[in-house]
């Protein structure tokens, strides 16, 4: 056998099938009339050669793969329109939260019955607004002045600024900070109670026949009414201060007028006095987290009366056979 048939096939030459095909093509072109489009014929032959060498397409496999990994439209949360809308909602929601904690609404801050709210004012002062209360800031607060109006109750931790006093109007009474932490509580009868835990407060009222002003130090309590201001020095204990700072409902020698209003705001209950002599009595108690039935029991024990809870009402009655307390 010759080396041509038994030796290795050269790597640099075209396959024998290709050589034969090219030879046939050349012979056909030579014997074909000139009217034949040679370029088109060559293109058809080339296409046939490519088709024979291309892999066979498995349509069934492709359809099976398509079912396993569908190339359908993206889910609704992946679509561009939805992503844009979601982004807008997130931005608007964040802005609403920021406004709710850093800046007042047009009519100020408000709380519902039984709810409280902590607010950081523009000057850095902290306010915990008590239940069923409202706080409004005068235009220009923190820039030209620090004046605001309170209805209800609030605990204040004021950032002191001697050049810009922090003044709270509560009815006809003004509470002015002198670097302090204190509570202010107002009743519908225009009775204003102030409890000072730290620093000092200047309390002024125009409800009396003449203006009255007192300076309260840490530990002092005061009540401003139409008759003037009554001060009790050193009555706010450390325990009470901590309770006030923690947002607990606590009373120390509080009048029933003050207790009535606080229970309405904190619990949504009315305190009914069936004996007019009860109005002069005072209460020292802590009602934080207590159910209404327990509140009634504590009031009864504290005042020496019979206290009954009926839905959203607590009624105080004189005990049968017991002398009326002065």
For the residues of 235-265, what is the DSSP string, one character each? ---HHHHHHHHTT--EEEEEEHHHHHHHHHH
Residue 144 confidence (pLDDT): 87
Residue 191 confidence (pLDDT): 87
Task: List the structure tokens of 125.
Answer: 């002062």
Among 236, 237, 314, 301, residue whose Cα is nearest residue 274 = 314
Residue 160 confidence (pLDDT): 86
Residue 278 confidence (pLDDT): 87
Dihedral angle of Cα 39, 45, 46, 51, to the nearest 10 degrees: 150
- The model's pLDDT over 218-277, given as tens digits with 9 standing for 90+, comes to 999 999 988 889 999 999 999 999 999 999 999 998 888 899 999 999 999 999 999 888
Q: What span, in angstroms and rounded, lies between the C-alpha atoms of 263 and 267?
A: 5
Long-range contacts of 231-234 (CB under 8 A, 24+ apart): none
Residue 226 confidence (pLDDT): 84
Question: Strand pairing partners for 316?
Answer: 273, 307
Distances (CA, A) of 270 to 151, 258, 315: 18, 12, 8
Question: For the chain, what's the residue count?
Answer: 326
Residue 257 confidence (pLDDT): 87
Question: Hunting for tokens 């058809």 — which residue is that?
Answer: 44
Q: What span, in angstroms and rounded, lies between the C-alpha atoms of 205 and 169?
A: 10
Q: What span, in angstroms and rounded, lies between the C-alpha atoms of 224 and 214?
A: 10
**CB 251 within 8 Å of CB 259:** yes
Q: What span, in angstroms and rounded, lies between the C-alpha atoms of 289 and 205?
A: 33
- The model's pLDDT over 181-198, given as tens digits with 9 standing for 90+, comes to 999 999 877 789 999 999
**How do beta strands 270-273 and 313-317 pair?**
parallel
pTM for this prediction: 0.64
Assign 316 to helix, strand or coil.
strand
Dihedral angle of Cα 110, 172, 121, 246, to the nearest 10 degrees: -70
Among 173, 209, 177, residue whose Cα is nearest residue 189 = 173
Question: Strand pairing partners for 145?
Answer: 141
Query: Which portions of the chain are predicted below pLDDT 50?
Result: 1-11, 28, 33-36, 38, 45, 53-79, 81-107, 325-326
Task: List the structure tokens of 106.
Answer: 């047009």
Among 109, 122, 124, residue whose Cα is nearest residue 158 = 124
Residue 20 confidence (pLDDT): 55
Torsion-angle region of residue 268: left (phi > 0), alpha (psi -120 to 50) or beta?
left
> What count of other Cβ atoms lies within 10 Å of the Cβ of residue 269?
20
Distances (CA, A) of 212 to 76, 269, 282, 305: 68, 34, 24, 36
Question: Hunting for tokens 């004021």 — which residue is that?
Answer: 158
> What count of other Cβ atoms lies within 10 Å of the Cβ of residue 171?
19
Residue 101 confidence (pLDDT): 41
Residue 192 confidence (pLDDT): 93
Residue 7 confidence (pLDDT): 42
Residue 188 confidence (pLDDT): 75
């Amino acid at each position: 056998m010759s080396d041509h048939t038994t030796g290795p096939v050269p790597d640099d030459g075209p396959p024998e099938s290709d050589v034969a095909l090219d030879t046939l093509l050349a012979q056909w072109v030579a014997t074909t009339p000139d009217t034949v489009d040679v370029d088109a014929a060559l293109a058809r032959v080339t296409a046939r050669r490519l088709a024979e060498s291309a892999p066979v397409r498995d349509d069934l496999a492709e359809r099976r793969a398509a079912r396993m990994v569908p190339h359908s439209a993206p889910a609704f949360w992946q679509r561009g329109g939805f992503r844009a809308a979601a982004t807008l909602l997130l931005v608007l929601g964040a802005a609403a939260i920021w406004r709710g904690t850093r800046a007042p609404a047009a009519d100020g801050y408000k709380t519902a019955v039984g709810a409280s709210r902590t607010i950081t004012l523009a000057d850095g002062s902290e306010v915990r607004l008590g239940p069923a209360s409202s706080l409004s800031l005068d235009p220009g607060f923190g820039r030209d002045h620090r004046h605001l109006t309170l209805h209800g109750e609030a605990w204040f931790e004021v950032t002191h600024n001697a050049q810009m006093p922090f003044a709270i109007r509560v009815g006809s009474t003004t509470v002015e900070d002198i670097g302090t932490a204190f509570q202010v509580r107002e009743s519908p009868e225009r009775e204003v109670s102030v409890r000072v835990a730290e620093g000092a407060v200047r309390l002024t009222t125009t409800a009396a026949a003449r203006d009255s002003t007192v300076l309260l130090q840490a530990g002092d309590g005061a009540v401003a009414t139409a008759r003037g201001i009554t001060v009790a020095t050193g009555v706010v204990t450390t325990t009470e201060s901590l309770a006030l700072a923690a947002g607990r409902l606590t009373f120390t020698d509080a009048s029933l007028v003050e207790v009535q209003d606080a229970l309405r705001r904190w619990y949504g209950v009315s305190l009914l006095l069936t004996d007019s002599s009860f109005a002069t009595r005072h209460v020292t108690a802590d009602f934080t987290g207590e159910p209404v039935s327990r509140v009634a029991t504590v009031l009864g024990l504290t005042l020496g009366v019979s206290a009954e809870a009926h839905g959203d009402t607590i009624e105080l009655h004189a005990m049968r056979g017991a002398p009326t307390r002065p």
